[in-house]
Chains A and B, each alone.
Chain A
Amino acid sequence: MTLIHLAILLPVIAAIGIGVLYRYYRRIHLGWFVLPVPLLIVIYLFTLIPRVMNGQVIYETMQFMPRIGMNFDVYIDGLGLLFAILISGIGALVVLYSIGYLSTKENLGNFYVYLLMFMTAMLGIVLNDNVVMLYLFWELTSISSFLLIAFWNTRDRSLYGALKSMIITMFGGFLMLGGFITLYLITDTFSIRGMIDALPMIQESPLTPFAIVLILFGAFTKSAQFPFYIWLPDAMEAPTPVSAYLHSATMVKAGIYLVARFTPLFAFSNLWVWTILIVGLFTMTWASFNAIRKDDLKAVLAFSTVSQLGLIMSLLGLGALSLATGANDELFTVAVVAAVFHTINHATFKGALFMITGIVDHETGTRSMKRLGGLLTIMPISFTMTVITALSMAGLPPFNGFLSKELFLEAMITVLNADFGAMASVDFLIPLVAIVGSIFTFIYSILIIYGIFFGERTHNTPKEPHEAPALMLISPAILSLLVIVFGLFPNILSATIIDPAAMSIMASDAPLGTHLAMWHGFANPALWATIAIVIIGSVMFYFKDKWMFIYDYHKEAFTLNYLYDQGLMYSRIGSQKITDGYMTGYIRNYLVYIFGFFILMGLITLMNTGLHMDFSNFASVGIQEVILSLIVLIATAVILITRSRMVAIIMLGSIGFSMALFFVFFRAPDLALTQLAIETVTTALFLVCFYHLPKKSRHEERMRFKFTNFIISLGVGVLAIVIGLSAFSNRLFEPISEFHIENVYDLAAGGNMVNVILVDFRGFDTLFETFVFAIAGIGIYGLMKLKLKRKDEDNEEHAEESRI
């Protein structure tokens, strides 16, 4: 347990305190108490930058479950540190923003506890070396995202979106775990660094493509790549601070992180490279194309997020591509640097844009572009920030988006010069698709600015719009400032953060010495591409109404959402049909299944192993034991025959007391005592219950019914005897009770072995048994005290149900 572990776990630890605090103290907005947590973490992480800059890595381990190789190994290199700073930095801003956004009437306790839980989960993902722990945190992000999307849990859309995001991301996460286990089978380690050391084994193994596909499923579902992006637009039902934080800046970048982290491992594989490149590029273009027709501001931003994630993904693919084909080292570097830089930039401008959307929503009461417009004079500060961030997203100077976009275009265009063998004839498609995607990105960026702030005022907003309070403006203002600062002085980032991160993606030690600049001269093709994008984009924006009809060809039945909904519905209907097939509602049928299966398995096992019985090793039989056995047998027979419940209970009691006597004869005094006490209490229990139960203890049963029951019980009884005899005759291992007998005094300082086993050697059993006993008591309390009010006027349906 070091300071780093503590930093990762700090949000969760704080969450406990926050939850308790909220229970008792509500005068001050809870967010103020949460704010120090991410601030502390980000300050701590900044102190690590100098060490990481110099090429050091920080590695601390904490034993968690060493037996299965699951340890909390914190590993900080450039890549992890970059993401960790993003997570905690944006986290601090989002918490600050949420103080203004969420009123104290909301259930703030839940909100901040989920948010802090998410923070730990996310830090755990990016600062981890152990893939099993990584998976654990990965699923924790899915869970906290689910809880946060469903924060307003009375809205149907929220629940739908939450469920959808959870189903899709958990599906991917589960497949990813399969990929990790496959990697473990190949390399025999769960450590990512260990896997990189075992690279030759991975290159040779036939299982590698399998692992690649599974891990990509995890990355693509989390980072909302085609065709899994459908959850992200629906996740926008979450409160806006959550959208800004989880669904644009951090959680969706976990997939990016995963791909970046595994690039050194899989870059040799064509499958990995081409899948990422093609999926990324297609996602980018498809999502930006779809973003334009959306009316809801957050939906536009959601599709834009998907598109930008596709862009980063394709850059990582391109970077790996040049390594795979050995084509161009330069290209590789440019692409990776662009990916890292764009990750930072996207977090800044998209986070700010989401916050501004939240402000607009908060102040006007709507997010629909049709109802907004002409807010320029009313919300000048928001307008300024929107212009800065949206133009940065569009890739215009002098903002940071321009720099990374230009690197992106440069990398894509350089593909033309590289020699990719068989793919050479179609390689012109790569820059083409990239430019088309960028044009649409430009259009929707302009659309956001234009739709909110220009045009006629509709006067159709639920609230009278006015500028937001300062508290809500601080966070987007800081981010907008960063957009400009990173745009004008990009080199404050290049040596400190970008280079170390890019180096760890490429797994190289050589310093890159990246120098980012606005101006590369007229010879730079990326410049001309940008100019072309701006011109074509402006023209298309101007004639927007002329070509918007193409969206009408988009039929509902062919969308992925439709597919998802139908798939979910039919899988539910199908599973219900199967379940209804054997769940008849009669308890006897279930018991017949259980016992029938028991007999079947017993017979199969017997047929496979054969019978080995040894009748030589039996103890002598005393006369008193024979009498006792006879009593038990007679009592059992009487229970089976009798119609009187009283006789049955007395006979059951007599069997119980005979058991106690058996325990005495067989030298088990503890058992005898317990059995006597239990039998007394049980009998008392039966007697008090009888007043309420019917007098008759049997119902008429037909012969056929009885016969089936008899056959089944005979089978079970005989099988039990056979199992007992063969188990008694065959001792495969020495009994472990020797250990207990020998150490009962030395280790536990006791004399009564049975009791020492109960409270010491096998204390766990006793602990949980106590729990079972208490649960039974509480359950009975619930049964007796909980009475449905029947024939209640308000409660007619419930009464109906309970009567059936």
Chain B
Amino acid sequence: MELITIIISGILIGSSVYLMLSKSLIRIIIGTALLSHGVHLMLLTMGELKRGNVPVLDPEVSNYTDPLPQAMILTAIVIAFALTAFILVLALRMYKEIGTDNVEEMKGVPHDD
């Protein structure tokens, strides 16, 4: 199972990189969202899958799955959401101000000195 999840997360990460390198803002945003999914899956796999019980204390159970990656992924999920929301709004404002969503046409203001 771990082999499959690692390969899937690799594919997700690769596709997200491809999306992020494209010209359209929306695809870049989708790329970042996809990247977080890939990384979460990878992190979860590192804690070994399906070995123990749900990490909730139970007097009859002695082996649990690793809770630490789960805690980290929980943090990561929420932060990924904040990030997605932020760049989505950034893109929105950008499009309203500049009138394009093509990153090739966006270039920083040239400085004068």
Best-buried of B34, B91, B101 by chain A (most CB within 10 Å): B34
Q: Does A712 contact B (CB under 8 A)?
A: yes
Question: Interface centre among B8, B67, B106, by most A CB within 10 Å?
Answer: B67
CA distance A239 to B50 in the complex (A): 71
Shortest beta-carbon distance from B19 to chain A in Å: 7
Interface residues of A in 703-733 (CB under 8 A from B): 708-710, 712-714, 716-718, 720-721, 724-725, 727-728
Instruction: Known contacts A640-B15, A769-B78; decide if A619 and B107 are in contact (CB<8 Å).
Output: no
Residue in B24, B57, B75, B101 whose CB lies within 8 Å of A744: B57
Of chain B, the residue at the smallest CB distance from A691 is B92
User: Whole-angstrom distance between the alpha carbons of A784 and B94 in the complex?
Assistant: 11
A425 within 8 A of B: no
B6 lies within 8 A of A765 (CB): no
Name the CB-closest residue of B to A668. B70
Q: Is A737 an interface residue (CB 8 A)?
A: yes
- Establish whether residues A621 and B1, one from each chain, have CB atoms under 8 Å apart when the complex forms: yes
B interface: dominant SS: helix
CB-defined contacts of A682 to chain B, threshold 8 Å: 33, 81, 84-85
Decide: A671 near B26, CB < 8 A? Known: A757-B67, A783-B93.
no
Query: CB within 8 A of B26: which of A585, A693, A735, A803?
Result: A693
Contact pattern, A 675-687, Cβ under 8 Å of B = 1, otherwise 0:
1001001100110
CB-based contact B70/A736 at 8 Å: no
B29 to nearest A CB, angstroms?
A: 9
Residues from 646 to 669 in A contacting B, C-beta threshold 8 Å: 648-649, 652, 655-656, 659, 662-663, 665-669
Q: Mark B66-89, 1 if CB is under 8 A from A, else 0.
A: 111011111101110111111011
Of B17, B27, B85, which is within 8 A of A776 by CB?
Answer: B85
- Smallest Cβ distance from A26 to chain B, in angstroms? 41
**In angstroms, how far is the closest chain A Cβ from the Cβ of B100?**
8
B residues 1-54 in Cβ contact with A at 8 Å: 1-15, 17-28, 30, 33-34, 37-38, 40-42, 44-54
Question: Do A752 and B55 touch (CB < 8 A)?
Answer: yes
Asked if B97 CB lies within 8 Å of chain A CBs, one says yes
Q: Looking at the assembled complex, report how far the CB atom of B9 sits from the nearest CB atom of chain A, in whole angstroms.
A: 7
Other-chain contact of B6, A659, A665, A724, A779 (Cβ < 8 Å): A724
- Across the interface, A619 reaches (CB within 8 A) one of B1, B15, B68, namely B1
Residues of A within 8 A of B102 (CB): 699
Please indicate the chain B residues that have their CB under 8 angstroms from the CB of A686 in the complex. Answer: 88
Q: Which of A757-795 contact B (CB under 8 A)?
A: 757-758, 762, 765-766, 769, 772-773, 776-777, 779-780, 783-784, 788
B27, A713: Cβ atoms closer than 8 Å: no
Taken together as a complex, chains A and B put the C-alpha atoms of A710 and B18 apart, in Å, by 6
> When chains A and B are docked, how far (Å) is the Cα of A692 from the Cα of B101?
11
| Nearest neighbor of B76 in chain A, beta-carbon distance | A769
Check A769–B75 contact: CB distance below 8 A.
yes
Contact among B15, B72, B89 for A713, CB-based, below 8 A: B15
CB distance from A622 to the nearest CB of B (A): 8
The answer to whether B57 and A751 touch across the interface, beta carbons within 8 angstroms, is yes
A189 in the interface (beta carbon within 8 A): no
Smallest CB–CB gap between B104 and chain A, Å? 7
A629 within 8 Å of B by Cβ? Answer: yes
Q: Binary interface profile of A, 572-607, with partner B (CB < 8 Å = 1, else 0)?
A: 000010000000011110011001000000000000
Check A618–B30 contact: CB distance below 8 A: no
| A717–B57 CA distance with the chains assembled, in angstroms | 37
B11 engages A692 (CB within 8 Å): no
Indicate if the CB atoms of A670 and B70 lie closer than 8 Å: yes
A773 to B75, CA, bound (A): 10
Question: Once the chains are docked, how many angstroms separate the CA of A709 from the CA of B71?
Answer: 34
A259-312 at interface with B (beta carbon < 8 Å): none
User: How many angstroms between the C-alpha atoms of A709 and B86 in the bound complex?
Assistant: 25
The answer to whether B18 and A772 have CB atoms under 8 Å apart is: no
B77 touches A674 (CB 8 A): yes
Confirm or deny: A329 has a beta carbon within 8 angstroms of a beta carbon on chain B. no
Residues of A within 8 A of B (CB): 576, 585-588, 591-592, 595, 615, 617-622, 625-626, 629, 632-633, 636, 639-640, 645, 648-649, 652, 655-656, 659, 662-663, 665-671, 674-675, 678, 681-682, 685-686, 689, 692-694, 696-699, 701, 708-710, 712-714, 716-718, 720-721, 724-725, 727-728, 735-737, 740-741, 744-745, 750-754, 757-758, 762, 765-766, 769, 772-773, 776-777, 779-780, 783-784, 788, 801-804
Can you list 24 contacts pairing A with B, beta carbon distance less than 8 Å? Answer: A586-B107, A625-B1, A629-B4, A636-B12, A640-B19, A659-B37, A666-B44, A674-B78, A686-B88, A689-B89, A692-B96, A697-B24, A699-B24, A708-B21, A716-B14, A717-B10, A720-B9, A753-B56, A753-B67, A762-B71, A769-B78, A776-B83, A776-B86, A780-B85
Given A619-B2, A728-B45, A737-B68, 12 further pairs, Cβ under 8 A: A588-B103, A618-B2, A662-B44, A667-B54, A671-B74, A692-B92, A693-B26, A737-B67, A740-B68, A758-B74, A769-B78, A783-B90
9 cross-chain pairs, A with B, having the tightest CB-CB distances, nearest first: A717-B14, A721-B10, A776-B82, A713-B18, A753-B67, A713-B17, A757-B71, A724-B6, A737-B68
